[in-house]
Structure 1
Amino acid sequence: MVDVLLADDEAMVRAGVRAILARDPGIEVVAEAADGYEAFEAVRRLRPAVALLDIQMPGLDGITAASRIHRELPGTAVIMLTTFGEDEFIERALREGASGFLLKADDPRELLAGVHAVAAGGAYLSPRVAARVIAGLRGGRTGHGTAPGRPMERLTARENDVLALLGAGLSNAEIAARLSLVEGTVKAHVSAILGKLGARNRVEAAIAAHQAGLVGERSADRPADRPLDRP
């Protein structure tokens, strides 16, 4: 069961999101919050697997709350669920440690898939958000991740394989199955990759993989529905 904290200052929005999550018997909303402070305290108290945060909330905004959760309570993965899909918000959220970014206008199935993906240790961007991120990479507009070159040269061949699959949006368990490794070994590789690249989280590492062209090279048979890999 994936425990979820839902934070949004609009009660009707929370009700709608809760109804979508209730469709999945593997997801349970364990708490709700109307502002960022409430959200952080609920995460600190309950330690849910996933926190769904709106960006614009009174008191503490969602991105600042995401940053605090990422620093102080890293066992909880954060997904930003918002109306605002501007590049500035996406970049700030990913920079501050969010593992996923979804728009409220997205297909409800994206929400369910995103919750399961980040709970399993993966990263998840809805197709529309992924398209903006990839377009930003191609246009050189984003500062996330690590540019191709020297940092990539510090990775071992196996770490490059893991990074390519991470860039395709696979979870640790899926990477382990693909490479015939145990999940603990994949976790160790991911930690080493983040350290060598100077990436703060899996999303930044995934973006670095796209920048370096690793995803197309090593993950040609990746699942087609992974939004981080959609152009």
Structure 2
Amino acid sequence: MKRILIADDHEAVRSGLRAVLAQRADWEVVAEASDGSKAVAAAIESQPHVAIVDFSMPRMTGVEVARRIKQYPLLTEVLIFTVHNSSLLAQQAYQAGARAFLVKSDANKLLLAAVESLLIHRPFCVKNGSNEFGRELADAANVHQGLTPRERLVVKLVAEGYSNKGISAILNLSVKTTEAHRAAAMRKLDVNSTAGLVRYAVRARLIDA
């Protein structure tokens, strides 16, 4: 069962999203939140596969929610949901860690496809119609260079100074598995040192410079 979090300060919007998502029997809305702070707490507690987050919420914006979620060792993919068709906001969302940016007026026809894409850890890019975010997200997505979500998470933790043993404890992996993820990431990024991983993590905005 795929777990989904919905965060929006309007009950009517959350209800509408639930109705659309209910079309998939193997998807379950495991948590809801009415403001940004509650959204982060709900994501940490429920560890959803996908978090659908309104851009404009009380206490914390959707972009900040995405940024906070990505600070934790979660594999949650974030979809920012908004009434604003703005490439600038899309860029901000991606830089914060979101992998999809969807205009609310497009939800009925695009929401299921967007969630499906995020469930296999691919950014969702709309390249025509009223949604103008596709090119920005597609270009920015190239920075991940084929790393899996787990490999990106390992690189992030390496760049934050954790040892292989420490990463293994955080992610509940064997040290051998952690080493394998680290080696695979280094091979894909064509780097041969921890410093190279740190430079990539800064460039890809996995950590703050």
In structure 2, the partner of 1:21 is 21
Taking the aligned partners of 1:26 and 1:190, their CA distance within structure 2 comes to: 35
Separation in structure 2 between the aligned mates of residue 191 and residue 78 of structure 1, nearest angstrom: 27
**Which residue does 1:4 correspond to in 2?**
4
**What residue is the counterpart of 1:88 in the other structure?**
88
Residue 199 of structure 1 corresponds to: 204
1:31 matched to 2:31? The reply is: yes
Secondary structure of the corresponding residue to residue 80 of structure 1: strand
2:108 match: 108
Partner of 2:170: none
Alpha-carbon deviations, 1:189-229, whole Å to 9, x = none? 5994495583247xxxxxxxxxxxxxxxxxxxxxxxxxxxx
Contact 1:106 1:126 in 2 (8 A): no
Matched residue pairs, number? 161
Deviation for aligned residue 1:14: 0.6
- The alpha-carbon deviation at position 26 of structure 1 amounts to 2.0
Instruction: Judge conservation of contact 1:102–1:129 (CA < 8 Å) in 2.
Output: no
Conserved 8 A contact 1:36-1:62: yes
Shift of 1:100: 1.1
CA distance in 2, matches of 1:43, 1:123: 19
Counterpart AA for 2:69: I
Greater relative contact order (Cα < 8 A, sep 6+): 1
Partner of 2:174: none
TM-score, normalised by the number of residues in structure 2: 0.66
Contact 1:77-1:118 at 8 Å conserved across structures = yes
TM-aligned CA deviation for residue 74 of structure 1: 3.2
Q: Which amino acid aligns with 1:188?
A: A
Structure 2 spans left out of the alignment, 5+ residues: 148-179, 191-196
**Sequence identity (%):** 32
Q: CA deviation at 1:71?
A: 1.4
TM-score, scaled to structure 1? 0.60
- The residue type paired with residue 13 of structure 1 is V
Matched, 1:188 2:193: no
1:46 partnered with 2:51: no
Task: State the match for 2:126 in structure 1.
Answer: 126
- Aligned mates of 1:107, 1:59 — CA distance in 2: 24
Map 1:147-158 → 2, pairs under 5 A? none
Could you tell me how far apart the structure 2 residues matched to 1:64 and 1:47 are?
17
Q: How far has the Cα of 1:43 moved from its partner?
A: 0.7
Distance in 2 of aligned mates of 1:11 and 1:42: 16
